[in-house]
Chains A and B, each alone.
Chain A
Amino acid sequence: MPGMTSDSGEFNSLSIVPHSVETQTPRVYPLRTRRVAAPFPRLSITWARGNTLRVSLLQPGSEQNPGGEVVEVKLSNADGAEIADAQWRRIAYGSVHPYALLQSRKNSVDAYHGDKDWWEHVMEYSKEINSLLGDSKSSVTPTIEDPKTVLNIVEEPTSLKAAWELMELFYADKQSWTWIPERLLDWLADFDCLFSATQSTVHARLVVFQKELVTIQTVENVPDYWEVISSALAVGWLDVVVKLLRLHGSYQLDQLGSRELENGLVEAVAVLISQMPRLRPDLPEENLGECYNTKPEFMKAWEKWRAQITKLDCSSYWLQCDHQQTRVGLKNMLQIMLGNANTLSNVTYHWIELYISHFLYIRPFTTGLESMFTLAQKCMHLKPISNHHKLMGLLVGILEENTEVILAECSRSFGPWMITHAIELLTAGSTQAEILLHDEQSKLGGICIEELHRLIYAQILSSHALTWNIAPIYLTSCSKQGLGLLENLLYKQPVHHHQVLLKSIEICRLNGLDYVGHDIMKIAGVHYWKHGKKGSAVFWLQQAQDEVRLNRIAKHLFDFVGKSVSDESFKQWEGMIELLGTESKTAGGLEFLKKYRDFRRSLQQVQEGTTIDEARKAAEALVSLMRNPSTPQQFWLHIIHDSLKLLNWKECPLLNVSQTNLLLNKLQELSFARLLPGFVDADFPPEALKCVRLALATNLGRSILDE
């Protein structure tokens, strides 16, 4: 096809995140079908929730084949596809709390005037997020128990964690600024294994050597031993180095006597290594080196240490050392410690390893991103790599202080989760980034880049039934378009599922989206109404305050009730009116039904037991019902007819003159209304009407006499 790149992409890399820099040709992604095959005469598309696209592939009719297939495509994962779904959801849920807390702190004035600096809040946030990304146990920690195990193989960390820690150390952790080279060293110790997949690294060499170690008798005769030691020393894994040194044959009891001098040299180097001055506040317990907090102290110690190395280097003992490999190996190590650039370059593999070795042995005082970047460029030049790891792109972006590159790398390589959460670190640590991220862009419809990324992440969360309900947290932190997207998200929820309905209403309530809540309840109400669940329907329509539909339903009920007023089906809709509860004021018609129910009840009691009090009560209910303007005309005759027993009460008239007149007037009104268009005929037999008239006339006569 013209205008397309030939390589077919995996969906995991399909990104629908806008960037400023674009590749010219779009990538092609295959839509895999199970039962149908191309060509398709017709494709049909629909966006489902979030960024899920559903494609209907229709195929021409034939006896054997189905008519087509629907394929669901999730466009771009949240995490750049490194992490399994369940694990990723754990991260997504886990990051909600720290994110929300940070946002609320940002919004409260106290955060800026409290006893903590803002970056300390950000650091707290970063630590919490980082803990979600996996255990941070370093993989180069030697284990003491087994002398042959120099490297503790732990579960491989994710690049996502590595990227997060990079962002943290450069942007959030203000305290680390004075000792950033040492922080980078720790970082590499944790994550060097990630680079092993595509190229040789110190870590990879160590892993291979450890496997060989079990079978090796005298390690000092093996060239690999010295190579591995030097490499580990170059990148500052001092514990590993010292442990390896102590495997040297001269330490063995049976040889100690004959190789005393040789052993002395090995031990001297080991001691020097373990005393290496480090410009950092502290070291983990198991790590070697001596920490110095301030530059002058460090400088003093460093010079002293270097002098000791030089002294050892020039010592005459070397001439007396018979074991050639040991002599050469140890001397090489001294060269590393003395900062011999060639040696460092020889014993390291990846440019970042060379970079770290430069910090350790040549330029321990490097500070400032500019000089760090210059050094990185030099190292990259010395150790060019064909296969760039995604972390390198990010690191280079950070070092060259190019916010756009950092953003692009974050979102492209590590996914929308990363960019959404890492922006908090970026804006806390760099003014330039803050300006870029918070600047409203007319080309983006008036939102800033920070908001854009939040919207995209929220959209991804919305794609899944298990994560959509955390999307609102991110959307409410978008000042311009968050609520708009939230509305659209809520309107797409399947509200006839009760749990989803309740959750949606809750979200509306929390975010002041009452009108959306009402619409949702309206949809639910109509669904129930149409599917025979009339009680739920009325309940939800009342919650939605949908007067129009409730009045329609009331009318529907009148029609129904009107037909069955004299028979026993009263019970059927009695329960329904019960459901309307006491708050049925939303629709006048429904209010009538409730009164009508009360009237029917008292009438029934009159029929069962016959005390005058009950009869009077029923008569009062009758009058109040007939006085009520919301009582529909079509009921009037039925109500009076049902009350014949009251009108013909033997002991005394239950209605006084004015009350009887009211009923007579209603009859009169009814006969006029009969002439008007739109009159609902109550379908009343003429004999019954005569009975009513007679009863009323009799009652009037009796009450006049009474009064």
Chain B
Amino acid sequence: MDKSILILDKGTRCTAWNYSGQRLVAGLDDGTVVIYDSTDPASSTFISTSRFKARESSITKVFWVPPEYGDAVACISDDGKLSLWEEVTEDTEEHHWKMRKCFDGITSQVLDVQFGDGQTCLKLVAACSDGQVKIYELLDTLELEKWQLQAEFQNVIDLVSKFGNATCVSATISWNPQRSEGRQSSFVLGYSSNTPALNSPKVWEFDLDHQRWLPVAELSLPDDQVDEVYAVSWAPNIGRPYELIAVATQQGISIWHLGSNPEPDGRLSTQNVAMLSSHDSEVWEMEWDMSGMTLATTGSDCVVRLWQSNLNGVWHEQAVLAPAG
């Protein structure tokens, strides 16, 4: 059953739903951010409830902060600037949106950010156009103003090599959605750049003993000429003995199994279980459903594709949703 639930404002460039699917944030090309809310949990009628000017230039990406830290969104604008806005109600006033942080310290353009590890301490991974990955940590659980740069590195397996003159056009990050406190925080990150070594998706894990981030797996085949990576998506794991990560490159969508226990060299075992051809050219977005069984993708052919593994473990395209007309 398909049903139209919301008409977006003129000039909408990007949208994002919050954790419960009750609020939508939209970034507009004049730098405005619009918030749409549903009236009650059972209803799917959404109305625009707030709008504020976040930047002078167009907003290209918007993200919600995990709900444990309030109702807040991060926006990336055309010029690669990252800012953080929060909805607050002060004293007797109506609720309104306040800028909490502008990450001016990042001199290069921010291509993608993702919030993660909400359990213990909020972390923010930002992938920048110079190939640097920056990880910020929130210092105070109740104040979104105070961030500290925790780490900065390049997306390479060999920690020694440095690529000085990398130019990246896009980046994609996906945190391990696992919420249990015992686990180390980890994420996967891929680039689309002129430097193949930076491109291939790598899984980064925080090493608590040495207080640093380590690459624990690389999601590309040894003889693969590493393409530009369009999108990565880490599937929710509701009890599988392995992790599931989808990677979209020029060659198509590949599905990877990632072992849970490290091998003697500290790496996690990887296995490419499917290579699916799709979307003709670029893949824009990939997202797993809440059980981690179905992958939805969208790309430059303007359709939504649904992928699933059958009972024999063979991945295939299950359905296509195409805009009518």
Contacts and interface: CB of A to CB of B under 8 A. Distances in A.
B15 A44 contact: yes
A73 interface: yes
Contact of A487 (B10, B179, B298): B179
A93 interface: no
B325 A72 contact: no
B115 interface: no
Contact of A66 (B8, B69, B87, B288): B8
Nearest to A484: B238
Nearest to A54: B17
B28 interface: yes
Contact of A49 (B240, B242, B290, B321): B290
Nearest to A528: B89
Contacts of B15: 44, 56, 58, 68, 70
Chain A binding surface, main DSSP class: mixed
Nearest to A85: B1
B289 interface: yes
B12 A26 contact: no
B319 A16 contact: yes
Given A526-B68, A530-B89, A16 B318 contact: yes
B238 A481 contact: yes
B1 A12 contact: yes
B143 to A, nearest CB: 8
Contacts of B321: 28-31, 53, 55, 73
A34 B4 contact: yes
Given A26-B317, A55-B304, A66 B287 contact: no
Interface in B268-313: 284-285, 287-291, 293-294, 296-298, 301-306, 308-313
B17 A46 contact: yes
Interface string B179-205: 101000000000000000000000000
Interface string A467-498: 00000000000001101110111011111010
Contacts of A515: 181
B304 A51 contact: no
A493 B21 CA distance: 9
Given A43-B298, A491-B179, A497-B41, A485 B238 contact: yes
A24 B314 CA distance: 12
A35 B239 contact: no
Interface string B9-31: 11111111101111010101100
A39 B325 CA distance: 9
A497 B40 contact: yes
Contacts of B4: 32-35, 69-72
Given A29-B322, A38-B323, A491 B19 contact: yes
Interface string A46-77: 11111111111110011001111111111101
A394 to B, nearest CB: 19
A44 B10 contact: no
A7 B68 CA distance: 46
Nearest to B20: A494
A537 to B, nearest CB: 10
The CB with the most chain A CB atoms within 10 A, among B284, B304, B313, is that of: B304
Interface in A424-459: 441, 443-447, 449, 455-456, 459
Given A56-B8, A69-B7, A44 B317 contact: no
A58 B20 CA distance: 22
B302 A38 contact: yes
Interface of A: 1, 3-4, 9, 11-12, 14, 16, 18-20, 22, 26-40, 42-58, 61-62, 65-75, 77, 441, 443-447, 449, 455-456, 459, 462, 465-466, 480-481, 483-485, 487-489, 491-495, 497, 499-500, 515, 519, 522-523, 526-527, 529-532, 548-549, 552-553, 556
Given A50-B290, A74-B1, 15 more contacts: A1-B320, A18-B309, A22-B316, A26-B317, A28-B321, A30-B323, A31-B2, A32-B2, A45-B287, A45-B304, A455-B238, A455-B291, A494-B41, A530-B71, A532-B90
Q: What 5 pairs between A and B have smallest CB-CB spacing?
A: A484-B238, A443-B313, A67-B12, A481-B239, A445-B240
